């Protein structure tokens, strides 16, 4: 691996590290040499990932984090200690037609995916500025922040908001040597959605992806390591789509 992708000596916080992509990102970052702080609400899941990675020789800690709570975010950032990289990955979706979407579902999705990412980014950046320390933030958005599908209006809106927030923070914080970028994954197979891709509905969806296949978590590694490392040092405000061509399919 080129030295510019090497994360030895760096400390990365991954939110939503208890499952799916977040757990994979933690494995990817430790594989590149970073120490990782795992953060989420399910402490048991974090503990088993921490044990797995520690056994492989990685430096890993775990902190309780509920991104819907500013108090929890501040406590988690204090417990994490000095960071170099923040991966804003925690996210949820609630599937309902927009006409029937209750206020509390909107709040849960937007407060997790957008407000939560904002508060984590702001908390990390305040600490970096105070310590005169550079930093890199990687926001995990979605192709649904660029295009839309039905029944997930708050999710679509939250991810579009996260993409534009990425640009706004990149502009304001460049002077502090803080880079802020986003990844827009397409459909990636994880433990939660795995069975869906084998159904007729899942197969029909795959037919609409130019590469005719679903993404695997490893397909995001290149973008993550680029944006988190020295290799991406002239990148800020970038939005990197990793989707097998899904967003450029034929209209």
Ligand X SMILES: NC(=O)c1ccc[n+]([C@@H]2O[C@H](COP(=O)([O-])OP(=O)(O)OC[C@H]3O[C@@H](n4cnc5c(N)ncnc54)[C@H](OP(=O)(O)O)[C@@H]3O)[C@@H](O)[C@H]2O)c1
- How far apart are alpha carbons 174 and 182 in whole angstroms? 15
* Residue 188 beta carbon to ligand X: minimum distance, rounded to whole angstroms: 4
Supply 230's token pair: 């020295």
One residue of 13, 16, 160, 179 binding ligand X per CB under 6 A: 16
208 binds ligand X (CB under 6 A): no
190 binds ligand X (CB under 6 A): yes
* Residue 92 beta carbon to ligand X: minimum distance, rounded to whole angstroms: 5
Among 25, 118, 128, 155, the active-site one is 155
How many C-beta atoms lie closer than 10 Å to residue 33's C-beta?
A: 16
Residue 85 burial by Cβ neighbours in a 10 Å radius (0-12, 13-18, 19+): buried
Nearest to 231 by CA among 239, 241, 223: 223
Which residues, at least 6 apart from 133, have a Cβ–Cβ distance to it below 8 Å? 82, 84, 127
Is 187 an active-site residue? Answer: no
DSSP conformation class of 232: G
Nearer to ligand X, 15 or 30 (CB): 15
247 binds ligand X (CB under 6 A): no
Q: What phi, psi does 178 have (nearest 5°)?
A: -110, 120
Quick note: the x/- pattern for ligand X over 80-99, rule CB under 6 A, is ---------xxxx-------
13 binds ligand X (CB under 6 A): no
Residue 133 burial by Cβ neighbours in a 10 Å radius (0-12, 13-18, 19+): middle
Which residues sit opposite 39 in a β-bridge? 15, 63
- How far apart are alpha carbons 126 and 7 in whole angstroms? 22
Supply 179's token pair: 């880079």
Interface region with ligand X, contact rule CB under 6 A, candidates 1-9, 47-55, 66-74, 163-171 = 66-74
One residue of 137, 154, 187, 209 binding ligand X per CB under 6 A: 187
61 binds ligand X (CB under 6 A): no
CA distances from 20 to 25, 57, 93, 96, 168 (A): 9, 22, 14, 22, 28
* Residue 10 beta carbon to ligand X: minimum distance, rounded to whole angstroms: 21
One residue of 5, 31, 41, 129 binding ligand X per CB under 6 A: 41
Residues contacting ligand X: total by CB under 6 A: 27
* Residue 178 beta carbon to ligand X: minimum distance, rounded to whole angstroms: 21
Interface region with ligand X, contact rule CB under 6 A, candidates 10-18, 123-131, 165-173, 194-202 = 10-18
Among positions 109-168, residues that touch ligand X (CB under 6 A) are: 112, 140, 142
Which residues contact ligand X by CB under 6 A?
15-16, 18-22, 40-42, 45, 65-68, 89-92, 112, 140, 142, 185, 187-188, 190, 192
Residues taking part in catalysis: 155
């Amino acid at each position: 691996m080129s030295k510019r992708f090497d994360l030895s000596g760096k400390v990365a916080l991954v939110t939503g590290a208890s499952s799916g992509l977040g757990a994979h990102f933690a494995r990817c970052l430790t594989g590149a040499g970073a120490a990782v702080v795992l953060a989420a609400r399910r402490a048991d899941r974090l503990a088993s990932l921490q044990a797995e990675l520690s056994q492989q020789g990685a430096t890993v800690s775990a902190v309780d984090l509920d991104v819907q709570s500013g108090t929890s975010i501040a406590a988690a950032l204090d417990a994490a200690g000095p960071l170099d990289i923040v991966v804003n990955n925690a996210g949820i979706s609630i599937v309902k037609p927009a006409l029937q979407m209750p206020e509390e579902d909107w709040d849960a999705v937007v407060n997790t995916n957008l407000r939560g990412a904002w508060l984590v980014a702001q908390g990390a950046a305040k600490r970096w500025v105070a310590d005169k320390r550079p930093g890199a933030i990687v926001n995990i958005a979605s192709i649904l922040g660029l295009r839309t599908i039905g029944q997930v209006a708050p999710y679509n809106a939250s991810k579009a908001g996260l993409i534009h927030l990425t640009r706004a923070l990149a502009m304001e914080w460049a002077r502090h040597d803080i880079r802020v970028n986003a990844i827009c994954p397409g459909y990636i197979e994880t433990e939660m959605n795995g069975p869906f891709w084998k159904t007729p509905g899942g197969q029909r969806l795959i037919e609409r992806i130019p590469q005719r296949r679903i993404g695997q978590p490893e397909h995001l590694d290149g973008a993550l390591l680029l944006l988190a490392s020295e290799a991406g040092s002239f990148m800020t405000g970038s939005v990197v789509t990793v989707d097998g061509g899904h967003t450029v399919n034929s209209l």
